[in-house]
Chain A
Amino acid sequence: MSTAEATTTTGTEVMTYREALRLALREEMERDERVFLMGEEVGVFEGAYKVSAGLMDQFGADRVRDTPISEEGFVGAGAGAAMLGERPVVEIMTLNFLLVAMDQVINHAAKVGAMFGGEVRCPMVIRTPNGAGNQLTAQHSQSFDGWFAGTPGLKVVAPASPADAKGLLKAAIRDEDPVLVLENLPIYKEKGEVSLDPEFVTPIGLANVARTGEDLTIVSHGFATVRALHVAEQLAADHGIDAEVVDLRSLRPLDVQTIAESVAKTNHVLCVEEGWPSYGVTAEIAARVQKACFDDLDAPVERVGMAEVPLPYAKELELAAMPHEERIAAAALATLGRAS
């Protein structure tokens, strides 16, 4: 441990989600020589979304490694380096581009531990923003969270706040297994209190009750949690409804226990995600809840997600498809049998 680390304050500071990610990367790279960042435009360009700004100056081009546009190649190279004890953090510009590397993620990195009988591990982090908005259209507006979270061998986390952006990314880097960190473009600029303690991590597999309430449980992750928290305040102000928001933080492992404890109190569940609901995260939550919480439910589990179309360009159409706050609020009221 360096002197700088040993003397770091343990207070907090208000910073953006983007800055929190950068702080996590900087701290982990200072702590552990094996940690390195690679991806398209992470070095000279300082990141397509500026998450890695300043890191190449501090750590050099070897540890902040620019790659060609070659996701299958460098995601697989990350997996291979991890198998030899490195701690690569691979940045993918957006989740949509990870599709061309799916063979390396699903057929390779995710298989290393089990398929080789525990003889070798693959401690790789892939971090990438997902989600929709800003008229990015069909090929750049997708969320496949459920695809990855449904794959044994992977871990998937989705920070919704600056604090968790730091804590979960650090936990992912320190983990023994491949971890996908799902970030969100719209939250990069969100601000919040973040611990300055270099040993602060957010445990993987632990959901967060982001808002306590008595009447309804809203289960969400990533940007959907930001929306859910806004909706909860509106519901309180406009309808006197006290909603609890369970922010999943981790999709695999999934903290069903925290959801079940919340449902035992509220008896009503609304699941929200940014992606398409069919076969999605909300489908999984609904299936688990109906089994784990059957006696506690006073109404069917309700879901809100992206309209099931490739996202169109026109602003009006994009808005119509998105799981925006009005749709979430209307679903919350419907779940409770209240008119909107």
Chain B
Amino acid sequence: MAVTVPPRTDQLDRDTRRELYETMVLSRVFETEAERQYKAARIGGYCHLSSGQEAMTIGAMHALHADDLLVTGYRSHGFALARGIPPEAVMAELFGRVDGCAHGRGGSMHLLDPSRGYYGGWGIVAGQLPIATGLALALRRQGREQAVLCELGDGAVNMGAWHESLNLASLWDLPVVFLVVNNLYGMGTAVERASAEPDLYKRASAYRMHGERVDGDDLDTMIEAADRLLTAAREEHRPAVLEAVTYRYRGHSVADAGLAYRSKEEIAEHQRHDPIVREREKLLAEGVSEEELAAIDTHADERVAAAVQAALDSPAPQPDRLAYGMHGVGSAEQFARMRPGSAYGEEALTFDAGLGA
């Protein structure tokens, strides 16, 4: 089914372009620092970086309205920052501190902020798609003219959850845009080694859904496409697949050097078309000075340094808050009679949200 909303023709004004550039730079600097902190053992677990993907991320987030909803996989630092979560709360989460956006319970893969419409940060490939579909169903049930943007990687399109979610979304006319971030590799497996139809956007047609592929490394292209498809989702309740082709410079996670399955030359070739450099050139052409651009870099460095300091200053969660958040109001009484003969000692667990994280 064709999307009937016409392409957006207005151009970004200079101030908006500069603000988006600032967020792109912030994302890059933040992740460079995250890798450094990971190697200094202040960040643990898995830590998936998205350096090189900033135009895709920040462009999609610019098209997403404040009252729209966002669901992502686990490569999501940039999405969280672009959605407006303070870098302090993101870094504190990576450090496992109480002031993190999930109070140190989620880490890098499980960032969220429902007050900003961000419903997670999910760690199982394609598992977030049914969740996003359900959020869109709730929007329809509540009669809200809002959309859900669901980010996923190229590796997710071969999971059953992808097919089931696309089918439900189209069958029920749900306002959800599935943003396929095609960075050419699912972990270390190239797209054409994993997908019988490597033109991933074409798969939407199997569900009578609009699909298209764009250059995810061009900010304007990303904004135009994401805005058009999100508008169709909001106004016509039609889901869509937006495949954004991009490239990640780092490995699958910090633990992966990223060179077993691709060459240094390939990475260098992509870096020659770096999305931040491309934006920088646009800004210079629009008359923004080198000094202003240098100030943006400095400001990003300062914000990330402040985020690291805030994370260092934030306390670790207390062991007596081990079960914090697990259960809702009234659960403490329900579990009170479970204690006799317990293996761990359920008396140590409290589900009382009122006690704080």
Contacts and interface: CB of A to CB of B under 8 A. Distances in A.
B326 A79 contact: no
Q: How large is the interface on B (under 10, 10 to 19, 20 to 34, 35 or more residues)?
A: 35 or more
A113 B338 contact: no
A59 to B, nearest CB: 12
Contacts of A165: none
Contacts of A175: 328, 330
Contacts of B342: 256, 288, 291
Contact of A76 (B119, B131, B340): B131
A155 B334 contact: yes
A206 B131 CA distance: 31
Contacts of A292: 340-341
B326 A114 contact: yes
Given A85-B138, A290-B341, A108 B325 contact: no
B326 A76 contact: no
B113 A258 contact: no
B103 interface: yes
Interface string B107-151: 000101110000111111001011111111111011000000000
Given A77-B137, A205-B333, A70 B341 contact: no
A257 B110 contact: no
A279 B111 CA distance: 34
A277 B103 CA distance: 39
Q: How large is the interface on A (under 10, 10 to 19, 20 to 34, 35 or more residues)?
A: 35 or more
A113 B138 contact: no
Interface in A63-122: 67-68, 70, 72-86, 88, 100, 103-104, 107-108, 113-121
B340 A75 contact: no
A107 to B, nearest CB: 5
A176 B328 contact: yes
Interface of A: 36, 62, 67-68, 70, 72-86, 88, 100, 103-104, 107-108, 113-121, 123, 152-153, 155, 175-177, 203-207, 250, 253-260, 287-293
Given A253-B331, A288-B341, 12 more contacts: A76-B131, A80-B135, A80-B138, A108-B122, A114-B324, A115-B110, A117-B104, A118-B357, A119-B102, A120-B119, A176-B329, A205-B334
